[in-house]
Structure 1
């Protein structure tokens, strides 16, 4: 078990991220389908923007509520709450008979995705070994990408249906992974760190041994060492911290944590990746691509990011760290959006719709390159960094605030983008050149490197002034010494073996 159980648990939990990717990606196809346009009487760009922005607005409130739900009910139960909202919202979208019902369904679905988008990385962070935490948490981005691939090709296939099932089926398929995750997550363990916060220490120790696959004396000892460090730090936090939102800026260390976590999420939106994800077909249309090829190109686009992400999280992320990929991503986005702006400005389609084929292919290549760059930088790193920098007592609320920062910025960009691309065209892309340049400077100057550190060792990275041993000794809550735990280890391992 051990490592493979860690990977399986993280991958299965990341079905929630698959939902995130599918729900976010399917709308870019649905809004271009002729039956959707006919059924809703050819909605204008403002209404199309509302379909996307109300979803992301729901995500904002779902992420905000997720912070409370994670502390109150735990990571597992919060994921199940998100799945229930997903089933409700997706059913409303697929069965909508008017635009109001569709919008409400998008909001409810957004609440689900907002909750899942913060809870899945949080859960994976808390069960992952430090040396492969980047890979484990990076699985969330991988499954987002797989969701986008699935959405793009479902959208491409549905265009050949000649009834309203063309768009209803595309939206309704979200019900399948939501139900699967709702049922399946019940059989995965609770986060051991959340269990310790609830005073369920014995259960927490059993989960740590389960995650280690503790069967040999060496592995049992390693599991016990991590449990001891986890126990002491979390119990010390319980004595020294409240659970108020104001704790996120109560000390210089927490201010830095909050700024880093929120900053990396906001900078992820500054990359402009969701403009492509949500409105890619419109971008291709602006470059002169024919209507029949819009969804085909979007489908191919959706496949390249996850492939790049997979190789990055398996081969590089836990070796090169967090900061270098972010710097590489921001710098690369400056280049790709600069070239894309120049191409669209210099070679627009003429009055008859004809375009310079070489320029069109180069523009599409820049969009594809942006996806690859995002997948080896901000895509996986943003979720890893935002969920690993906070102490356990603040991790759910901190991750919630950081994710709200992501979705709040997303709302603004998704509402503005269709209008801006219609009215100012290529000039809109220049905004992302400037935003990515700003991101590069701030990351270079203020972001720390956190690779290979345990969640409890983040206190050293951010300069906390609390000594767990002193706090626990003062409150008479110190963990058992190694000598005292030997008999407990034997009992625990026997119980686990049984």
Structure 2
């Protein structure tokens, strides 16, 4: 049970008037064209508005999927390797090519930090616009690169653009979606991201790559000003009527009582968060506050690092090498890798169904368990594949790799991106998601740099390592990761308010604290009505 003194302090914070709980619209924001306008916003409501939001978000994440994967084709182009000075066949070539891939992750981290710095001040829509501009510039520079240094800077700039989009778009959709649709939203977005990843195999490198990225960027820039802004951001800058209108348009059941209750929850969350000392990157990392923001940073960053440690990059990024190790030759590894991407994309259909029905916690536990078992099976079959039956057993290895990818896509891929957007307070949500994205970038950069060396050194035995890691990840997931699905974002401030780090104790403390919170909700909506809405 949460400490009674802590409960009293939190409930007192909700009831008493707070000073300067809102903020003025940023002066910097006024110089950025576009953004939200109630007169310009799409006149859609309910499901049509949700489909429109999904279309824009999916387009933005597809931008990321294509830009992240196109280098796997470019890296096999002889002209490109010669131009970059990486065609001599030396160890330096592998380091140079791996470095150019990893630099993109460095730019990705910079973009995420930029989002954390100004997304709460200028809004989600204008942050998306800035990300598009960075991405367009990066694509143009990559297409025109004439040497290694030029390409290195171009990769960083392109990564900054993708870092913007991949950080702010899930925040934007999470703050607009119904509580029971947030996971499905992110699953649909990443279905399109994987669609973007498969597009690269159908286009020549360089110029066509730039054309596609620039085209997607301009579509986003033109479309964004016609979309709704986050109602939480609008409330924060004291545009309450606009926030209420957005909720009316985006809710599947826009009953007046429910809209008013959600507005009260948002405003109460802003009051509660105004008492927190963690509003900067430094304070979020090093200061203990009553909202336990530092704990949330660890959980958000942890889920992103763990998803990289599942071993998915060994299959998704280096799939041809994996199928070659399974005993296939000629064009078969490339064809099998392409088929694996199709299976990968199809797995998101299952994720759309599971994300909100089963919740984040169960999906992470199930995914790690199954991937740990499958990783062991890869090694078992590949060891037998050294015999004369290599072709037959190689088929078994390929099947297990397909299943491994499918399992990751249907569990971890969605969870690792939606979880950080849910657990942070509104006051520090953009910064919190940015820190989680930086963790993703660092883990991705390190793993992609060492992948070629691990494959050369130990081959399929690397999956023993990942089998053990997946099974070890069950422990922190079970102990510390609290379920966030089907809950209002404002409820999560109470869910993380307890002193216990253990998930089951936090749930018990939440139930007690939520009951007291409902009893003390502000006048205007009766307690009985609130309970009925919550039910």
Give the TM interval when normalised to the shorter protein. Answer: 0.7 to 0.9
User: 1:490 corresponds to which residue?
Assistant: none
User: 1:494 corresponds to which residue?
Assistant: none
Is 2:292 the partner of 1:258? Answer: no
Please give the secondary structure, in 1, of the residue aligned with 2:459: coil
User: 1:332 corresponds to which residue?
Assistant: 370
**Is the contact between residue 13 and residue 185 of structure 1 (CA under 8 Å) also seen in structure 2?**
no
Is 2:316 the partner of 1:247? Answer: no
Is 2:68 the partner of 1:27? Answer: no
Please give the secondary structure, in 2, of the residue aligned with 1:96: coil
Instruction: Note the alpha carbon deviations across 1:273-318, whole angstroms, 9 max, x for none.
Output: 12322222222233343342333222211111221212321x2221
Is 2:331 the partner of 1:289? Answer: no
User: 2:360 corresponds to which residue?
Assistant: 322
Measured in 2, the distance between the counterparts of 1:469 and 1:140 equals 35
Structure 1 window deviating more from structure 2 (362-371 vs 412-421): it is 362-371
Q: CA deviation at 1:171?
A: 5.1
- Residue in structure 2 matching 1:481, options 518, 524, 530: 524
User: 1:269 corresponds to which residue?
Assistant: 308
**Is the contact between residue 79 and residue 119 of structure 1 (CA under 8 Å) also seen in structure 2?**
yes
**Is the contact between residue 327 and residue 385 of structure 2 (CA under 8 Å) also seen in structure 1?**
no
Name the CA shift for 1:170/1:387 in 2 (closer, same or farther; >3 Å).
Answer: same
User: 1:162 corresponds to which residue?
Assistant: none
User: 1:224 corresponds to which residue?
Assistant: 260
**Is the contact between residue 494 and residue 514 of structure 2 (CA under 8 Å) also seen in structure 1?**
no
User: 2:171 corresponds to which residue?
Assistant: 122
Structure 1 window deviating more from structure 2 (167-176 vs 120-129): it is 167-176
**Is the contact between residue 7 and residue 136 of structure 1 (CA under 8 Å) also seen in structure 2?**
no
Please give the secondary structure, in 2, of the residue aligned with 1:321: helix
- Residue in structure 2 matching 1:343, options 356, 381, 391: 381
Measured in 2, the distance between the counterparts of 1:395 and 1:348 equals 51
- Residue in structure 2 matching 1:42, options 47, 67, 87: 87
Q: CA deviation at 1:124?
A: 0.8
User: 1:409 corresponds to which residue?
Assistant: 443
**Is the contact between residue 27 and residue 52 of structure 1 (CA under 8 Å) also seen in structure 2?**
yes
Instruction: Note the alpha carbon deviations across 1:372-406, whole angstroms, 9 max, x for none.
Output: 10111110111111110111112111111111111
Measured in 2, the distance between the counterparts of 1:242 and 1:260 equals 16
User: 2:48 corresponds to which residue?
Assistant: 4
**Is the contact between residue 12 and residue 181 of structure 1 (CA under 8 Å) also seen in structure 2?**
yes
Give me the CA root mean square deviation: 2.8
Measured in 2, the distance between the counterparts of 1:84 and 1:316 equals 35
1:88-487 paired onto structure 2 within 5 Å: 88-151=137-200, 153-154=201-202, 158=204, 166-170=205-209, 172-212=211-251, 219-245=255-281, 246-247=283-284, 249-251=287-289, 253-313=292-352, 315-347=353-385, 356-463=390-497, 481-482=524-525
Please give the secondary structure, in 1, of the residue aligned with 2:331: helix
Please give the secondary structure, in 2, of the residue aligned with 1:425: helix
Instruction: Note the alpha carbon deviations across 1:438-482, whole angstroms, 9 max, x for none.
Output: 2112101221112211001112322359999999xx9xxx96724
Name the CA shift for 1:430/1:140 in 2 (closer, same or farther; >3 Å).
Answer: same
Structure 2 residues without counterparts, runs of 5 or longer: 1-44, 500-509, 527-535
Instruction: Note the alpha carbon deviations across 1:104-151, whole angstroms, 9 max, x for none.
Output: 211111111112111111111110111212112322322222222223
Q: CA deviation at 1:366?
A: 2.0
Please give the secondary structure, in 2, of the residue aligned with 1:424: helix
Measured in 1, the distance between the counterparts of 2:367 and 2:358 equals 13
**Is the contact between residue 184 and residue 355 of structure 2 (CA under 8 Å) also seen in structure 1?**
yes
Instruction: Note the alpha carbon deviations across 1:42-101, whole angstroms, 9 max, x for none.
Output: 262212211211111111121122111212211111111111111011111122222222
Q: CA deviation at 1:323?
A: 0.8
Instruction: Note the alpha carbon deviations across 1:426-447, whole angstroms, 9 max, x for none.
Output: 2333322222122112101221
**Is the contact between residue 208 and residue 223 of structure 1 (CA under 8 Å) also seen in structure 2?**
yes
Please give the secondary structure, in 2, of the residue aligned with 1:199: coil
**Is the contact between residue 110 and residue 160 of structure 2 (CA under 8 Å) also seen in structure 1?**
yes
**Is the contact between residue 46 and residue 418 of structure 1 (CA under 8 Å) also seen in structure 2?**
no
Instruction: Note the alpha carbon deviations across 1:191-241, whole angstroms, 9 max, x for none.
Output: 111111222222212211221378xxx723322221221122223323544
Name the CA shift for 1:320/1:468 in 2 (closer, same or farther; >3 Å).
Answer: closer
Structure 1 residues without counterparts, runs of 5 or longer: 159-165, 484-498
Instruction: Note the alpha carbon deviations across 1:162-192, whole angstroms, 9 max, x for none.
Output: xxxx554245422221221122112111111
Count of residue correspondences: 460
**Structure 1: which 4+ aligned runs deviate by more than 6 Å?**
465-471
Name the CA shift for 1:239/1:440 in 2 (closer, same or farther; >3 Å).
Answer: closer
Could you tell me the TM-score, scaled by structure 2's length? 0.80
Measured in 2, the distance between the counterparts of 1:286 and 1:99 equals 31
